[in-house]
């Protein structure tokens, strides 16, 4: 009589047994998501898309959501941190479509105390459609100078599938970013697009503060699918006269040695710069002005002399200019005479 090996019998018995998930066999929480992908279909640019995911606890112990991590461009508005056995909780995700065009999918990773599936992947899908068109679509100010003159960037707003387009309002983020609009003239229109078209002028006024500009102008319309469109505003506001470096630390100075220091004075304004006078508060420190490009760039040369008092010093140099917008420029000075 031929005998079947014991290992073969055990293999057959194990194969016949049903596969039971660890959570169901041992007890505990179990996360179940019937719809891990929510497709919102076609949405307009700029819309905040909301997706609410249902998570069911099919286990016999409370299901804890320990963390939720959305992908870039997606945020999690809220979620249930604990879901009772047999109950259903939610995770609500928002997708900002301001800078998205075309098909896209944003992922959300949910971390739970389910021993069998500690991570649940959720996805928000959509096709972002620009119902409004803006040309050039941004207002960029790269050569702007404080207190010199205003600059304007003009936009053309169109709606290829909606002929009765109207602007119902504009919102500026700052008082020095001024916005006006009117219906486009024949010479300003895009002939390939029918219906009403609008010209929008974004003006950065000369009183804009020195520093970076990064914001958005909001334009509201009567378009049934896209009520709002944004115009990114970017750039940098330069001072009319800039000194590089803005302060000088001479360190330790031996006046017995022949030493000189120099800094650059640059004019970014439209009026030629003249340095009419230079005054130093540090006795014995000689200051000369050397033209590099008349009206635009100068070099200030500092020469320590034996008349300077030994020990640390703190002072400044004041430049008097011909510019009414910036009549004086001050440079701080520090150092020590050995």
The string of pLDDT tens digits covering residues 205-249 is: 999 999 999 999 999 999 998 999 999 999 999 999 999 999 999
Helix (H, G, I), strand (E, B) or coil at 259: coil
Please tell me the distance from the alpha carbon of residue 91 to that of residue 97, in angstroms, as a whole number. 19
Please tell me the distance from the alpha carbon of residue 235 to that of residue 233, in angstroms, as a whole number. 7
| All structural domains of the chain with their residue ranges | 20-129, 133-238, 241-337
Q: Is the pLDDT of residue 19 over 90?
A: no
Give CATH for domain 241-337: 2.60.40.10
Please tell me what DSSP assigns to residue 22: H
Q: Is the pLDDT of residue 5 over 70?
A: no
Name the helix (H) or strand (E) containing 197: none
Q: Give the contacts of 154 (CB within 8 A, at least 6 positions apart).
A: 199, 200, 201, 202
Question: Is 213:203 a contact under the CB 8 Å cutoff?
Answer: no
Q: Do the two domains 133-238 and 241-337 of this chain adopt the same fold?
A: yes
The pLDDT of residue 136: 97
Q: What is the mean pLDDT of the chain?
A: 91
Share of the chain above pLDDT 70, in %: 92
Q: What is the DSSP track for 275-294? A: EEEEEESSTTEEEEEEEEET
Question: Is 276:256 a contact under the CB 8 Å cutoff?
Answer: no
The pLDDT of residue 45: 85
Fold held by 133-238: Immunoglobulin-like (2.60.40)
Question: Is 248:263 a contact under the CB 8 Å cutoff?
Answer: yes
Share of the chain above pLDDT 90, in %: 83
The pLDDT of residue 2: 47
Count other C-beta atoms under 10 Å from residue 119's C-beta: 12
The pLDDT of residue 81: 95
Q: Give the contacts of 146 (CB within 8 A, at least 6 positions apart).
A: 206, 207, 208, 209, 210, 237, 238, 239, 240, 325
| Residue range 149-169: mean pLDDT, rounded | 96
Q: Write out the two tokens for 49.
A: 């898309």
**What is the residue whose two structure tokens read 């009403």?**
196
Strand ranges, E, within 164-240: 167-171, 177-183, 198-204, 211-221, 228-238
Please tell me the distance from the alpha carbon of residue 274 to that of residue 271, in angstroms, as a whole number. 9
Fold held by 20-129: Immunoglobulin-like (2.60.40)
């Amino acid at each position: 009589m031929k005998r079947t090996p014991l290992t073969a019998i055990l293999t057959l018995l194990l194969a016949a047994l049903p596969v039971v998930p660890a959570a169901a066999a041992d007890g505990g929480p179990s996360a179940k998501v019937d719809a891990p992908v929510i497709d919102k279909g076609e949405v307009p640019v700029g819309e905040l898309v909301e997706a609410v995911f249902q998570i069911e606890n099919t286990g016999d112990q409370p299901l804890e959501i320990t963390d939720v991590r959305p992908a870039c461009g997606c945020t999690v508005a809220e979620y249930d941190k604990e879901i009772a056995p047999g109950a259903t909780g939610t995770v609500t995700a928002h997708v900002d479509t301001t800078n998205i065009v075309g098909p896209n999918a944003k992922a959300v990773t949910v971390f739970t105390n389910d021993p069998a599936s500690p991570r649940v992947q959720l996805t928000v899908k959509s096709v972002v459609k620009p119902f409004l068109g803006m040309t050039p679509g941004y207002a960029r100010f790269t050569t702007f100078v404080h207190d010199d003159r205003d600059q304007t960037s003009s936009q053309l707003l169109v709606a290829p599938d909606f002929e009765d387009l109207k602007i119902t309002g504009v919102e500026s983020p700052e008082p020095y970013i001024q916005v006006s609009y009117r219906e486009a003239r024949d010479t300003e229109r895009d002939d390939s697009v029918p219906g009403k078209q609008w010209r929008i002028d974004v003006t950065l006024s000369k009183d804009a503060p020195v520093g970076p500009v990064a914001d958005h102008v909001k334009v509201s319309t009567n378009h049934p699918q896209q009520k709002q469109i944004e115009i990114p505003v970017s750039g940098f506001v330069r001072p009319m006269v800039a000194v590089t470096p803005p302060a000088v630390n001479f360190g330790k100075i031996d006046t017995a040695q022949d030493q000189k220091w120099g800094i650059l004075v640059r004019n970014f304004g439209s009026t030629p710069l003249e340095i009419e006078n230079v005054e130093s508060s540090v006795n014995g420190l000689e200051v000369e002005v050397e033209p590099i490009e008349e009206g635009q760039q100068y070099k200030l040369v500092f020469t320590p002399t034996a008349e300077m008092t030994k020990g640390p010093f703190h002072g400044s140099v004041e430049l008097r200019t011909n510019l009414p917008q910036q009549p004086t420029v001050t440079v701080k000075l520090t150092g020590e005479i050995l």
